[in-house]
Amino acid sequence: MADNARAKKLADLIREVVAEKLLRGVKDPRLGTHVTITDTRVTGDLREATVFYTVYGDDEDRAAAAAGLESAKGVLRSAVGSAAGTKFTPTLTFIADALPENAKTIEDLLDKARASDAAVREVSSGATFAGEADPYKKPGDEDDATE
């Protein structure tokens, strides 16, 4: 079993090689500038690599990019094998990264919170304090009734 530093180094190399090969080596029109490699993870035994990617475009572009990556898997694995120089080239699995959807969900929640804060701010703009403006007792404010 390989150590984590070696797996991390191989994952970084795979990410760079796959991104470069997609940009310059693969002539599939479904790929190229539309696909961005976001992360790569390698198992501890260095046998399998998971490549996470995002696609700029709509659902149709995402489906086309997934099909293009599956068809280019052999070419990409060959490029990784020649660059890595390891005894066994890891198998590549491509997974669409959920980061854009998560970011969109977070943005929607933040917009909802901003709207709620604005509504509360609007309602409280003309409100007054229930008691005095400064409810804390200060020395010398009151006459001492204990004397």
Structure tokens at 40: 């790569």
Residues 109, 121 contacting (CB under 8 angstroms): no
pLDDT tens, the chain, 147 aa long: 557 888 899 999 999 999 888 888 777 777 766 788 899 999 988 899 999 998 888 888 888 888 888 888 888 899 999 898 888 999 999 998 887 778 889 999 999 999 999 998 888 887 777 777 777 878 876 655 555
Give residue-wise pLDDT tens across range 52-90. 998 888 888 888 888 888 888 888 899 999 898 888 999
Phi, psi at residue 6, to the nearest 5°?
A: -65, -40
**pTM for the whole structure:** 0.69
Q: Give yes or no for a contact between 34 and 55, defined as CB atoms under 8 angstroms apart.
A: yes
Which amino acid does the sequence have at 106? I
